[in-house]
Structure 1
Amino acid sequence: PETPLLLLEFHGSEAEVAEQSKNFKEIASECGGLGFTWTTRPEDRTKLWQARHDAYWSVKALRPGSGVVATDVCVPISRLADCVTETEEDLKRLNLLSPIVGHVGDGNFHCSLVCDVDDAEEMARGEDFM
């Protein structure tokens, strides 16, 4: 489904991974997360991670013919939620399309700014955002 997607990897013994998955499912559910699934099969994990690896092409398909510029933002994990929230507010204020993808366990995320390269005003807003 076309909804935000959160992928996680848990590491440890089989029992530890099961416990971490159970705890995360409960936390995600409390926060409004839907459709939690997990797997230990390598082929299933590969399929799930393919969505992350195909993110650029999904973004590019949002506005055929537009350009996509990827940003790289890294902040201390303690500031990550604030930074993502502020970034979303900036995008809304500037009326820009930019899905956010990240490997946030290390405080890192990417905006994929989608702009019509022939629209000088939109490009200026994109420059402002950058």
Structure 2
Amino acid sequence: MLIFKFLKQFVKYGTLTLIDSRGKSFTFVGTSAPKLTLCLHSKSIEHRLFLAPMLTLGEGYMDGDITIKEGDIYQLLLFCAKNDNCTSGLLKTLISRLTILRNFYHRYNPIHKSRKNVAHHYDLSESLYR
């Protein structure tokens, strides 16, 4: 899984153990505490974590797709903040460029697609108004 290769580069501070949706465990070790264990409950959350890690981490936690088995939410936030500061310039540049490409793809709305969206939402039948 691509997210696990990325995490090997990302984790410089603390220890993170991820348990994926199949029950397989992956451990990433940095220099010191905290020690966290996160459970990922769906395969889609693994893919979304790679594309938008910070957003997906928060949404996944709130939706119950990610649970903290060891540690707490404050340690998780500290872990993310400390490791974000340790991330090298090249890795941050790569992440930001991937984010820009992802945002462009999701927001791309050419005229033919826009017309189709408008027709879908506003071309209502007469029976609706009777």
Q: Which structure has the highest helix share of the two?
A: 2
Q: Same fold (TM over 0.5)?
A: no
Structure of greater Rg: 2
